[in-house]
Amino acid sequence: MLDYSHNWLFALAALAIALIAGFSGLSLMQGASHMRVPMRRAVVSVAAVILGWGVWSMHFVAMLGLDLPLVFYFDPLVTLISALTAILMMGLALLIVHEGRRTRRKVVLGGTVTGLGIATMHYIGMAGMEVCRPVYSASGIAVALAASVALSVLSFLISYEERRPRNILIGTLGFGLAVCAVHFIAMAGTGFVATGETMPAVPMSREVLAFGVAVSAFVLSGAFLLSGASFASRLGDADAGGGMALALAGGAPPPLADAPRPYAAVPAPARSAPAPAEKAAAPRAIPYEADGRTRFLAPEEIAAIRAEGHYTLLYTDGGRHFCPWSITQAAARVPAGLFVQTHRSYLVNVDHVTSFERRKDNGICFFENTQGLGKVPVSRSRLSEVRERLGM
């Protein structure tokens, strides 16, 4: 067996590549389940390329840091196959999660496919080594597979528990650690022996590999910057509590990270009867899509309505539901005596607000009895109206 070691600067660079790819791919998929099928599949394809190429890049950045007592090469075809395998498996995992109604079982299955894809890419990439060959132990392969699947499933469960930036950021960390851990756990169970071969006819040296990895890192960094800009715009979409107020909330009910929560009890005010003109304009039920059907909710059942791109999400005591209306349509059609707009992205039912907190020149409405909602920001321009509607 040949002695070998790792350059840990390359290991840190590999981790950075994995985190960049994970963040770009996972944040790109936020809201994809609510897109029309052609657009959703296009987004899945792009995210699969980003995640798969990131997995491949991380592996070969780490391989650039592998120090062996001889010069080794890679077979270009096998190396390409390893990259395509990673992209294909990432695409399959994302399709499983985002096609149809998302369930915990589908998220676990998607994470499992991701874990298998990471491990498969690793071992295919290792099979492409020339001049020396890897030697594996059964226990090393088993531990690497188990770690890959477990960490990937955990990453998906965190990312898809709720589609908030907090979940995406933690899920990104889980994905990056999964990819890196699998590589180095697998390498710990791998030995190398010289094959006695000379330079192959079509060699891919570490210099050529370094060039390919540098291009990959450049492309992934571009995707990272674009995703980061979109991510930052979602964080800044609500001005309650400043940008960091949404850093842990994403496009869902925002939430002020590490902020004290002195709940000011607010009795539910009696709802004023809407004017006759409002009654005529307001629908008796609000539509939402579920299981391939259009269903309806009475306005009084809805605690809040949140903008989600060109559509909205309805929050009730039973969870959240996808509504085909835009936030502008919803603001024009819901009963004005029942709902108040707290922010450009939120309409809230005053009867469901359980407490209110004033924060400098803005505020927060709390919903302790509404599943998955928690908090909704109140912008400065709407603060007076909201306080008046709450009877303050």
- What one-character-per-residue DSSP string does 137-181 give? -HHHHHHHHHHHHHHHHHHHHHHHHS-SHHHHHHHHHHHHHHHHH
Q: Contact at 8 Å (CB) between 312 and 320?
A: no
Q: Indicate the pLDDT class of residue 200, thresholds 50, 70 and 90.
A: low
According to the CATH classification, is domain 252-389 in 2.60.40.10?
no
Residue type, 312: T
The CA distance from 146 to 144, in Å, is: 6
Burial class from Cβ neighbours inside 10 Å (0-12, 13-18, 19+) for residue 337 reads middle
Q: What's the rounded Cα separation, in Å, for the pair 346 and 313?
A: 10
Q: What integer best gives the mean pLDDT of the chain?
A: 78
Q: Phi and psi dihedrals of 224, rounded to 5? A: -65, -45
DSSP, residue by residue, 328-354: HHHHHHS-TTTEEEEETTEEEEGGG--
Contacting residues for 76 by C-beta, under 8 A, at least 6 apart: 202, 204
Count CB atoms within 10 A of the CB of residue 389: 19
pLDDT at 160 over 50: yes
16-51 b/e (C-beta count within 10 Å ≥ 16 → b): bbbbbbbbbbbbbbbbbbbbeeeebbebbebbbbbb
State how beta strands 339-343 and 66-67 pair: unpaired
The pLDDT of residue 252: 39
d(CA 346, CA 361): 18
| Predicted confidence (pLDDT) at residue 237 exceeds the cutoff of 50 | no
- Mean pLDDT (whole number) for 258-283: 43
**Per-residue pLDDT, 347:** 92
Residue of 60, 73, 5, 91 lying closest to 183 (CA atoms): 60
Q: Where are the domains of the chain?
A: 5-235, 252-389
- pLDDT reading at 246 higher than 50: no
Q: Per-residue pLDDT for 250 more than 50?
A: no
| Pairing mode of beta strands 346-349, 304-308 | antiparallel
Q: pTM of whole model > 0.85?
A: no
Q: Does pLDDT of 278 surpass 90?
A: no
Cα(221)–Cα(20) distance, integer angstroms: 7
User: Within a 13 Å sphere around the CA of 93, how many CA atoms are in the beta-carbon half?
Assistant: 33
How many whole angstroms separate alpha carbon 88 and alpha carbon 48? 7
**CA pseudo-torsion sign 60, 61, 63, 68:** positive
Position 206 confidence tier, pLDDT thresholds 50, 70, 90: low
